[in-house]
């Protein structure tokens, strides 16, 4: 999946430098180039695709339907590309990204295998320092991805372990053969839940190490029928428009139910949830309009899923451990194929790390602490041997990849200092003190609570328009006003505070990474946000300072 041997040399000076060649960086390149800006992209990997370049773990696929998780900026592109399944696999999405790169001749302006190390604002330009040189840019766009900095927790003596270790977000390109191997998977978020059923089919024995049970809904993945595809493509614009009017910018053909879960009878509620369960996918949570605002409704919906787990998993003790007790949807809902069923296999078992924590690693496996069965004696230890350990432990989400770059703005201030208590920003696009620097799907924007490609396109279009208009005026720089930024952060907190999202630990809040400030980062609700961005642009970029 390389760059086909073509490696663009970075120019000394460009109008727009872009960090990252995932879906955000690729479209930003296309738009900026089409608007007449000289543009260059710096990409750490050896090919395009971002998330889909790195996350090659077994079973990796998107949990947004492929006919929606795709670009809409080119009618020709969306008509000619053929998705094979309701939910595309990682290889298929990567092929799509490569097709887009070829079709729009993007590679000639991308430096692959080039990591941006620092960004310094000096003399009204950004100095972009990379592993292979430096470029001056009037504007920098961070298209670094929300889930691209791997979170690899450390455990006592983990350096002694002699087996193989993998992180799902940095999977070997050549793949991994688990045949005949005793494998441990740590983590049961989306990556764990997608990979566990596939690894179980190959491994001799699979042990799942679960810290927090996740809620997962069946994907009901299927081959796309030509008739359905034709019906969408016949009116793709309208299909896209309806999606963008929903809170998560997806699933416009399955609107959120008009009632709260407490407003209907038990039977009606069960029926509505069953219909969504059978349909499969993230829209399960949309059966009722108060799933993430009313704790009682949320509990009733969660009860439904717990009952599904109880009746799917044969061993009652394993079923008990798999049943989450937290708010459903607080952590991102998972979408699976045969996840719970996998625990009925003879070669799979589950360890609940809350009951039996990891004590340390050894050369050949992991030692767990097991409470004495009566609960009165000394805790015992038990060692399991593993040939391989898979870390499905997630990411330093939303800010991790940005904070890895040493970003020094106006007056030498460091972004990491400005963000020491949380990622302050305006619209998730700009930070006060960092002129001409834009983020795509940054903290403070709906990003990960939406269909990412819709949010990406929205941001890229907005940024392109913004810098084009700045060029038309006599001004050269634009940045968030400090007061507008303060109000924006307050607004995001207020909106998030009206939901149940803040009631649990999650990567939305940054609590999955030790020492990260606890701040709810994405903004719920795409349509209101998009409207706000449009109004601000129309109002001469209200809340931004131009000079």
Contact residues for ligand NA7, defined by CB under 6 A: 147, 153, 168, 186-192, 211-212, 332, 353, 392-395, 507, 512
| Dihedral-angle region of residue 462 (phi above 0 means left; psi in -120 to 50 means alpha; beta otherwise) | alpha
Distance separating alpha carbons of residues 497 and 503, to the nearest angstrom? 9
Q: Which is nearer to ligand NA7, 143 or 415 (CB)?
A: 143
- 72-83: b or e for each residue (b if 16 or more CB lie within 10 Å)? bbeeebbeebeb
Closest contact distance (angstroms) between CB of 152 and ligand NA7 is: 9
Task: Return the number of other C-beta atoms located less than 10 Å from residue 55's C-beta.
Answer: 26
Q: Which is nearer to ligand NA7, 97 or 407 (CB)?
A: 97
Closest contact distance (angstroms) between CB of 332 and ligand NA7 is: 4
Q: Which of 345, 367, 350 shows the shortest CA–CA distance to 358?
A: 367
| Dihedral-angle region of residue 176 (phi above 0 means left; psi in -120 to 50 means alpha; beta otherwise) | beta
- 252-262: b or e for each residue (b if 16 or more CB lie within 10 Å)? bebebbebbbe
Q: Which is nearer to ligand NA7, 47 or 189 (CB)?
A: 189
Q: Which is nearer to ligand NA7, 334 or 427 (CB)?
A: 334
Q: Which is nearer to ligand NA7, 358 or 489 (CB)?
A: 358
Distance separating alpha carbons of residues 439 and 444, to the nearest angstrom? 10
Contact indicator for 214, 188 with CB cutoff of 8 Å: yes
DSSP output for 226-262: HHHHHHHHHTHHHHHHHHHTSTTS--TTSPPPSS-TT
Q: Which is nearer to ligand NA7, 189 or 257 (CB)?
A: 189
Q: Which is nearer to ligand NA7, 101 or 184 (CB)?
A: 184
Handedness of CA 20, 24, 28, 30 (dihedral sign): positive
Distance separating alpha carbons of residues 291 and 521, to the nearest angstrom? 20
Q: Supply the Cα-derived Rg of the chain in whole angstroms.
A: 24
Contact indicator for 366, 358 with CB cutoff of 8 Å: yes
Strand order in the sheet with 348-352: 164-167, 388-391, 182-186, 205-210, 348-352
Distance separating alpha carbons of residues 340 and 348, to the nearest angstrom? 11
Distance separating alpha carbons of residues 306 and 300, to the nearest angstrom? 10
Q: Which is nearer to ligand NA7, 47 or 187 (CB)?
A: 187
Q: Which is nearer to ligand NA7, 136 or 152 (CB)?
A: 152
Q: State the number of CA atoms in the 13 A half-sphere of 365 facing the CB.
A: 16
Please provide the distance, in angstroms rounded to a whole number, between the alpha carbons at the two ends of the chain: 43
Closest contact distance (angstroms) between CB of 89 and ligand NA7 is: 14
Q: Which is nearer to ligand NA7, 135 or 393 (CB)?
A: 393
Closest contact distance (angstroms) between CB of 491 and ligand NA7 is: 24
Q: Which is nearer to ligand NA7, 365 or 433 (CB)?
A: 365
- 290-308: b or e for each residue (b if 16 or more CB lie within 10 Å)? bbbebeebbbbbbebbbeb
* Polymer length in residues for the chain: 547
| Residue of minimal Cβ distance to ligand NA7 | 189
């Amino acid at each position: 999946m390389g760059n086909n041997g073509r490696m663009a040399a970075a120019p000394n000076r460009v109008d727009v430098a872009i960090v990252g060649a995932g879906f955000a960086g690729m479209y930003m390149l296309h738009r900026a180039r089409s608007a007449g800006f000289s543009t260059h992209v710096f990409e750490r990997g050896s090919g395009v695709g971002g998330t889909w370049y790195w996350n090659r773990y077994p079973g990796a696929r998107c949990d947004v339907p492929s006919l929606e998780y795709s670009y809409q900026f080119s009618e020709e592109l969306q008509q000619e590309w053929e998705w094979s399944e309701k939910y595309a696999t990682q290889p298929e999405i990567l092929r799509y990204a490569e097709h887009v790169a070829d079709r729009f001749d993007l590679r000639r302006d991308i430096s692959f295998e080039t990591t941006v190390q620092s960004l310094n604002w000096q003399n009204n330009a950004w100095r972009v320092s990379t592993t292979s040189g430096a470029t001056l840019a009037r504007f920098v766009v961070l298209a670094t991805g929300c889930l691209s900095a791997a979170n690899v927790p450390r455990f006592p003596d983990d350096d002694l372990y002699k087996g193989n270790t993998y992180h799902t977000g940095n999977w070997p390109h050549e793949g991994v053969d688990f045949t005949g191997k005793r494998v441990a998977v740590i983590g049961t978020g989306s990556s764990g839940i997608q990979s566990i059923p596939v690894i179980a089919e190959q491994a001799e024995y699979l042990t799942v190490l679960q810290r927090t049970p996740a809620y997962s809904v069946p994907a009901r993945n299927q081959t796309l029928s030509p008739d359905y595809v034709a019906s969408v493509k016949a009116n793709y614009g309208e299909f896209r428009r309806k999606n963008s009017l929903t809170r998560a910018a997806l699933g416009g053909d399955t609107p959120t139910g008009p009632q709260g879960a407490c407003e209907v009878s038990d039977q009606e509620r069960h029926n509505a949830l069953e219909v969504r369960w059978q349909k499969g996918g993230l829209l399960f949570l949309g059966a009722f309009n108060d799933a993430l605002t009313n704790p009682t409704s949320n509990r009733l919906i969660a009860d439904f899923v717990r009952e599904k787990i109880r009746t799917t998993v044969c061993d009652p003790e394993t079923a008990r451990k798999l049943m989450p007790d937290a708010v459903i949807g607080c952590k991102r809902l998972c979408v699976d194929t045969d996840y719970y069923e996998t625990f009925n296999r003879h070669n799979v078992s589950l360890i609940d790390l809350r009951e039996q924590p990891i004590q340390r690693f050894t050369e050949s496996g992991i030692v767990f602490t097991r409470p004495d069965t009566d609960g009165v004696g000394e805790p015992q230890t038990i060692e399991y041997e593993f040939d391989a350990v898979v870390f499905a432990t997630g990411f330093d989400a939303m800010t991790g990849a940005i904070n890895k770059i040493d970003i020094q703005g106006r007056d030498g201030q460091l972004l990491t200092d400005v963000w020491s208590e949380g990622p302050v920003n305006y619209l998730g696009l700009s930070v006060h003190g960092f002129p001409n620097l834009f983020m795509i799907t940054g903290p403070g924007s709906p990003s990960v609570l939406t269909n990412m490609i819709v949010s990406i396109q929205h941001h890229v279009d907005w940024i392109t328009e913004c810098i084009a208009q700045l060029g038309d005026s006599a001004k050269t720089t634009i940045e968030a006003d400090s007061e507008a930024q303060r109000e924006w952060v307050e607004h995001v907190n207020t909106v998030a505070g009206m939901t149940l999202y803040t009631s649990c630990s999650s990567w939305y809040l940054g609590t999955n990474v030790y020492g990260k400030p606890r701040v709810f980062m994405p903004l719920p609700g795409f349509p209101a946000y998009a409207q706000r961005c449009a109004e601000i642009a129309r109002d001469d970029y209200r809340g931004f300072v131009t000079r």
